[in-house]
Chain A
Amino acid sequence: MIKTRYWLTLLLLAAILAGCASFSASSQAQDAGRLVIYSGRSESLVAPIIEQFSQASGIKVEVRYGNTSELAATLLEEGKNSPADVFYAQDPGGLGAVANAGLLAELPNETLDKVESRFRSAQGLWVGISGRARVVVYNTQLLKAEDLPADLFGFTEPRWKGKIGWAPTNASFQAMVTAMRQMWGEEKTRQWLVGILANQPVVYDGNTAVVAAVGSGEIEVGFVNHYYLYRFLREQGNSFPARNHFMNNGGPDSLVMVSGIGRLATSKNEENALKFINFLLSPVAQQYFAGQTYEYPLVAGVQTEADLPPLESLNSAGITVDQLADLEGTLNLLRETGVLP
């Protein structure tokens, strides 16, 4: 009896010590210094490229992974005392909030100029790194590409009743609705929302779930971002019965959203931060996004994956990311129409 207790205690102590050791600040600060990243992009997506940066530059990088909006809220709470150097966000909403609170520092022009003006903040407070396009994912066993309507508004027709899936809580969806409000106007957007609702769409809490559901046949079409499909294809093979359909009509339905990065004004590692941002905009990193995560590289001259339509053909002329960052109106509309609780 006593033996078990001792053994147990020892084990627990060992585990605790090991755990403490694994994170305690190792005082081997390399010459090149350090960098603290708050990343709303998940570890599985960006850890490899960050690791590459760390190896190449010799900078010791510490990353805090989390949900973009939660990290944004954290930054807002931390205020001037934030230990973060850069904020790498999954979508512009979080960046916008942080920027509006005056927490981001202006980026140098040479960095900003690497991407088109529509993919960076107008005040130069943050820059887009990679892009994702809105698509309609459809089940290949039940539909052919020709069966799909020419634009999103077509999905309000009765024949689509019970066959649509969407994730209205998702940031990209809300960005798309914001774009709709800008390009179609408030009224038409409202009609679209109401029309889709009339078709009793199945509600999911994320893009992943929508794609999974389309693949299993639970629904026939879904409104998602393009790159999720590739995860499924990779894990389950090409026989996964779903494919992306790009609307390609220059409207809000083929919106491109970017993940972006900004430097904290209170950062003590300005040089390292800029190095990192520039690294992400370098061909090496951009190729990584194209090849590994199936996103759109935003820097000119980098190849996309074979079957993605070129970036230029998509979008929504005139929509800037800053405009997309304004969510309040969208949220009100979504609540009024009952799409969101």
Chain B
Amino acid sequence: MYLPAALVALAMSLPLLYLVVRASAAGRSAWNWLLRAQTLQIMGQSVGLALAVMLAALILGVLLAWLVSRTDLPGRSIWSALLPLPLVIPSYVGAYLFVSFFAPRGLLQNLLEGWLGIERLPSVYGFWGAWLVLTLMTYPYIFLAARAVFSRGDRSQEEAARSLGCSPLETFWRVTLPQLRPALAASSLLVGLYVLRDFGAVSILRFTTFTRAIYLQYQSSIDRSAAALLSLVLILVTVGFLIAEQRIRRSAAENPHTAVHPAEVIRLGGWQVAALGVVFLILLFGLIFPTGVLFYWLIRGLLAGERIANWLGPLLGSVSSAGLAAMVTVVFAFPVSVLSVRRSNWLSQILERWSYIGYAVPGIVVALALVFFGANFVPGLYQTLFMLLFAYVILFLPQAMGSIQSSLRMVQRSLEEAAASLGENPLRVFQRVTLPLITPGVASAAAVVFLTTMKELPATLLLAPTGFSTLATQVWGAVSEAYFARAAAPALILILASSISMFLINHHATLSGSSQRQ
């Protein structure tokens, strides 16, 4: 296991190598800028936003996951399928839609002015707008992780706590939540890093973050060295997050137990209305409004005579690259995940942490790193689908890892050992025993990678074979030139295609999950 894991880690190092090479050529002005007091403030803003979003996403994600898997909320299987969907909306699109809806003179205000005479809405820009939009887009990470744990819940422990004097709330706090901790730590790390490296949403919402500064280096001065220097600093901050997450996770003791009794279903009673309200509100802001605005643009554009551009090609491009990315990334994620769960020594931990490098920096950095290496060292592979997939793996490996790790933790070692004693070699043990048991986790990992790849932009633009287009690139091309109607159709198709995939994977995951409990 060590060899494949090491190879994967080596592959992850390419962006880092590139950054170090470039940063060494950074000029004085870059260093001067870096060491200003104001820069520290910007960094502080970035970290502050990341932490705030993490907190909000945690609360929201856990609450929703709990409602959907542990209570008798009506329609919960539908909500369960819909609630992860805000993940599919690219952040720049989402922010844009949000702004057009909530801007001081946007759609909502126009509507309200007509009905209720409201002239001014509270400002959607700045920290709070960024916080709101990013939370809505990232809570699905937490939601998916928490839901996976909740749905495997075992009744006995919670009843034990009750018999020892804990009220239902106390039980949740002292017994259920701590066991969510590893999953929550990993997924909130993803959320935090996502916020740190996001550029699209914060620029539209006018909040200055460190990553925006990196982008400006590329955009305005095309100063790759300065950008590289700043990216290295960003990586340092990320390391801080990684260390913190490790501490919080605390060596999550393997808690393998197949649930003897599925957890009891909590009756909400009068709270049903409030719970439904919360779910509906989230879906409203995270899914319904954005889709609504897109339809509005589409209709408006069609009425004005716009034609819908060819979408079939980009659709196939999106689905094929995302599908392949999901499969390949999951496969690559296995060695490191298995190592870190089954043999948690310092080496495997380092290998695991190392894999986060690709996730720590903006996509443009990874893209350029691969351009550099690809064009100069392996021109035969440059601008082929392979290179692009490689980029996706580097970018999204951590997402797959978290889910696979947590489902591995739930498999009793004794099962694997039993199989071994019955004469199966390690690979067969894996195939016949472990793999079927971790299928829900693997499916979840694949789903997340699939969705994020569908909306990925910078790497696709630079590394895909020339002429290869995806729905995401199509949307971007149109939005950047204010052709909103032209952006609406591919954006809607993007959301639709992702949603369908989400449904299918969900369906499969819950099926195999529930069949294991019998």
Contact across chains for A12 and B323 when beta carbons are under 8 A apart? yes
Question: Is B167 at the interface (CB under 8 A from chain A)?
Answer: no
Contact across chains for A332 and B383 when beta carbons are under 8 A apart? no
Task: Give Cα distance in the complex from A235 to B364, angstroms.
Answer: 32
The B-contacting residues of A in range 201-229, CB under 8 angstroms, are 203-206, 208-209, 211-213, 216-218, 228
Which of A73, A205, A208, A217 sits near B482, CB closer than 8 Å?
Answer: A208
Q: Taking CB as reference atom, which chain B residue is nearest A234?
A: B304
Q: Name the distance in Å between B91's Cβ and chain A's nearest Cβ.
A: 13
Number of interchain pairs (Cβ within 8 Å): 176
Q: Name the distance in Å between A115's Cβ and chain B's nearest Cβ.
A: 24
Residues of A contacting B147 in the complex (Cβ-Cβ under 8 angstroms): none
Q: Name the distance in Å between A193's Cβ and chain B's nearest Cβ.
A: 15
Contact across chains for B316 and A236 when beta carbons are under 8 A apart? no
Residues of A contacting B221 in the complex (Cβ-Cβ under 8 angstroms): 327-328, 331
Which of B100, B385, B461, B504 sits near A70, CB closer than 8 Å?
Answer: B461
Task: Give Cα distance in the complex from A199 to B77, angstroms.
Answer: 53
Q: Name the distance in Å between A81's Cβ and chain B's nearest Cβ.
A: 4
Question: Is B105 at the interface (CB under 8 A from chain A)?
Answer: yes
Contact across chains for B301 and A235 when beta carbons are under 8 A apart? yes
Residues of A contacting B467 in the complex (Cβ-Cβ under 8 angstroms): 23, 62-64
Contact across chains for B319 and A19 when beta carbons are under 8 A apart? yes
Question: Is B33 at the interface (CB under 8 A from chain A)?
Answer: yes
Contact across chains for B481 and A18 when beta carbons are under 8 A apart? no
Residues of B contacting A235 in the complex (Cβ-Cβ under 8 angstroms): 300-301, 304, 306, 483-485
Which of B38, B473, B483, B507 sits near A231, CB closer than 8 Å?
Answer: B483
Task: Give Cα distance in the complex from A69 to B368, angstroms.
Answer: 12
Question: Is A249 at the interface (CB under 8 A from chain B)?
Answer: no
Contact across chains for B206 and A332 when beta carbons are under 8 A apart? no
Contact with A along B272-315 (1 / 0, CB 8 A): 00000000000000000000000000001100101001000100
Question: Is A251 at the interface (CB under 8 A from chain B)?
Answer: no
Contact across chains for A213 and B105 when beta carbons are under 8 A apart? yes
Question: Is B178 at the interface (CB under 8 A from chain A)?
Answer: no
Question: Is A191 at the interface (CB under 8 A from chain B)?
Answer: no
Residues of A contacting B477 in the complex (Cβ-Cβ under 8 angstroms): 42-44, 65
Contact across chains for B212 and A341 when beta carbons are under 8 A apart? yes
Contact across chains for B220 and A66 when beta carbons are under 8 A apart? no
Q: Name the distance in Å between A7's Cβ and chain B's nearest Cβ.
A: 10
User: CB within 8 Å of B: which residues of A?
Assistant: 1, 4-5, 8, 12, 15-20, 22-23, 36, 42-45, 62-67, 69-74, 76-79, 81-83, 93-94, 97, 169, 171, 174, 203-206, 208-209, 211-213, 216-218, 228, 231-232, 234-237, 327-328, 331-332, 335, 340-341
- Identify 24 residue pairs between A and B in the complex whose beta-carbon atoms are under 8 Å apart, listed by A's number: A5-B508, A8-B504, A16-B323, A16-B324, A17-B320, A20-B320, A20-B385, A22-B317, A67-B461, A69-B218, A69-B219, A70-B364, A70-B461, A71-B462, A76-B222, A77-B224, A79-B375, A79-B376, A81-B375, A206-B480, A235-B300, A237-B304, A328-B29, A332-B29
